[in-house]
């Protein structure tokens, strides 16, 4: 269905509200002629059968997705491409999609995830990739799970002048086929905050902060990842405080070079347990 104005579509407790999507998108929210439109989707099960996306936000002031299940889509479970719009997803499962779980590609888009499970998707659990040249994307993620995805658990990419500002707190990021959390910018700056998360058993790095990103990484447990526990890319700056890293197959903290374009890492009150501790060949990279 297509939503063009403020409306709430609600399946109350005990009532099954399901959509089987044979082609295209299951629910499209496109309300450019209704300024300030607020749309609520609650209690729905949206299942793909050869379709593209479960829920697509194209134009509205705010879309709230509450207590829904979105599965088996070919492109993405939930997609946000609406400029200057908010997508709020609460108590929702996004699983078994061939593409990514919850995808933010809007100019100046805002994403809030609370008690969301994004798992067993063919791409990233959550990819953040704002439109080129836009002011960026903002994501606030709390008390959620990103597990068993084929890409990154959470991946943020800033391209062509756009910026990224992800905040991830009190979440589990585990068993993803690439990195747990990754954020990178091609030319403009990004700001990332990771606090009190459990990041374990990912095939790549637990946390990878790439170029042009400034990050605060505090009070996380980073355990048994296939790459580094925490990796600092060239020309990044990371404050690493009060984390526990244990049994990662790479070093607890890795700083990339070359020496002409340094990453800068500030370390305070961390516990680096079993395995190698630091791999920063350029000694000016790390500061206690």
pLDDT digits (tens, 9 = 90+) for 62-72: 999 999 999 99
**Domain 99-287 class, CATH top level:** mainly beta
Tell me: pLDDT of 197 over 60.
Answer: yes
Residue 258 tokens, joined: 């070359």
**61 pLDDT band (50/70/90 cuts)?**
very high
- Per DSSP bridges, beta strands 190-195 and 164-169 are parallel
Cβ atoms within 10 A of the Cβ of 188, count?
Answer: 17
Residue 157 tokens, joined: 């990419």
pLDDT value for 157 = 87
Tell me: pLDDT of 88 over 80.
Answer: yes
Cβ atoms within 10 A of the Cβ of 148, count?
Answer: 18
Tell me: pLDDT of 275 over 80.
Answer: no
pTM of structure: 0.94
CA 97 → CA 43, 46, 160, 220, distances in Å?
Answer: 19, 11, 28, 28
Strands (E), 96-233: 100-104, 109-119, 126-128, 137-142, 145-147, 154-158, 164-169, 172-174, 181-185, 190-195, 198-200, 207-209, 213-218, 221-223, 230-232
Q: What digits encode the pLDDT tens for the residues 71-83? A: 999 999 999 999 9
């Amino acid at each position: 269905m297509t939503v063009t104005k403020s409306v709430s579509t609600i399946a109350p407790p005990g009532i099954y509200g399901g959509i089987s999507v044979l082609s295209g998108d299951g629910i499209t929210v496109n309300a450019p002629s209704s300024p300030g439109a607020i749309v609520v989707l609650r209690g729905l099960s949206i299942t793909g059968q050869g379709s593209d996306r479960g829920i697509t936000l194209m134009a509205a002031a705010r879309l709230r997705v509450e207590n829904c299940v979105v599965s088996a889509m070919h492109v993405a479970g939930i997609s946000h491409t609406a400029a200057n719009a908010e997508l709020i997803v609460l108590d929702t499962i996004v699983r078994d999609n061939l593409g990514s779980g919850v995808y933010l590609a809007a100019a100046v888009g805002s994403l809030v995830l609370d008690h969301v499970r994004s798992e067993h998707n063919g791409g990233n659990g959550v990819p953040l990739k704002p439109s080129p040249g836009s002011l960026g994307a903002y994501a606030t993620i709390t008390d959620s799970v990103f597990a068993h995805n084929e890409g990154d658990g959470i991946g943020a990419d800033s391209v062509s002048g756009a910026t990224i500002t992800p905040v991830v707190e009190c979440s589990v990021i585990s068993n993803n086929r690439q990195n747990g959390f990754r954020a990178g910018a091609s030319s403009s700056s990004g700001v990332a905050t990771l606090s009190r998360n459990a990041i374990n058993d990912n095939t790549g790095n637990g946390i990878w902060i790439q170029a042009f990103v400034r990050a605060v990484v505090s009070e996380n447990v980073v355990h048994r990842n296939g790459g580094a526990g925490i990796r600092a890319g060239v020309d990044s700056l990371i404050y690493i405080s009060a984390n526990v890293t244990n049994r990662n197959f790479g070093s607890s903290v890795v700083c990339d070079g070359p020496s002409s374009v340094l990453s800068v890492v500030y370390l305070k009150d961390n516990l680096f347990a079993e395995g190698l501790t630091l791999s920063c060949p350029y000694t000016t990279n790390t500061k206690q």
